[in-house]
Amino acid sequence: MDRTVRTVEDVLTLLDGLFTSAAESERLATGDGRDYWERFYTDRDRNVPFFAAKPDESLAAQVDAGLIGPGRALDLGCGPGRNAVFLAERGFEVDAVDLSPAAVAWTRERAAEAGVDIRLTCGDAFAAGPGELRGPYDLVVDSGCFHHLAPHRRISYLALLDRVLAPGGHLALTCFAAGENGMGTELSDADLYRERSLYGGLAYTPEALRRIFADLTEVELRRMREQPAGSALFGVPFLWTALFRRPLG
């Protein structure tokens, strides 16, 4: 008989186990999902739109409009590095983290090809010690990590932002959109635990995002703009793109 729960983290780990015992659980965007994401990024030839070396259209627009300016940036779940490289080319000092060694290697290759420096970390950002992520950051970019988190791991996510996002800093978030032409499951949080599956990712409404990030100030929240073939930017309309700012006080 095990009695392992002593801390909040013990509770979160216990809840992780409800999903890691189910078939689709390995998609978790935490340490338990490492094997899934390693296989995902090892096969570079698979038809995945965001494997292309193109930054999010929303991130590029926010930089071009001056909503976010050069500073220290963290790319959370960087994947193949398309946003990290873009930011480094635009004068940001970039740290990038991903669970998958294959994704980190791909980002390293793209950074070398672009002639930019990116500090790379392979591991679970939510389990990282204070010295592993060199906050505070003026910008945290998350393009596709948040919607792969189990509901209880939003606590870890908000705690990470509280620790690493500088006052006045921005969160640039991209996640699955609920509703017409959206993507991801719209099951309630409670039903996800009953089903013991994340069904490939969680869809969010604007109201849910505003509630979750209520301690931040909304700058922008819209559907990502679909990009035509040949565009230098990545954009698909089944995603929300949001920009939130941490208050100065």
Reading the block at residue 240, the tokens are: 């929300």
3-state secondary structure of 207: helix
Beta carbons of 234 and 64 less than 8 angstroms apart: no
Q: pLDDT tier at 128 (50, 70, 90 boundaries)?
A: low
As a whole number of angstroms, the distance between CA 117 and CA 120 comes to: 9
Reading the block at residue 135, the tokens are: 């906050």
pTM: 0.92
- Summarize pLDDT for 198-215 with one digit per residue, the tens: 999 999 999 999 999 999
Task: Classify domain 8-44+53-245 by CATH architecture.
Answer: 3-Layer(aba) Sandwich (3.40)
Selection from 88, 87, 97 nearest residue 120 by Cα: 97
Q: pLDDT tier at 47 (50, 70, 90 boundaries)?
A: confident
Amino acid at 45: D
- 8 against 23, higher pLDDT: 8
Beta carbons of 183 and 177 less than 8 angstroms apart: yes
Q: What percent of the chain has pLDDT over 70?
A: 92
Q: How many CA atoms lie within 13 A of 179 on its CB side?
A: 12
Please check the confidence at residue 191 and state whether its pLDDT lies above 90. yes
Please check the confidence at residue 130 and state whether its pLDDT lies above 60. no
Q: pLDDT tier at 31 (50, 70, 90 boundaries)?
A: low
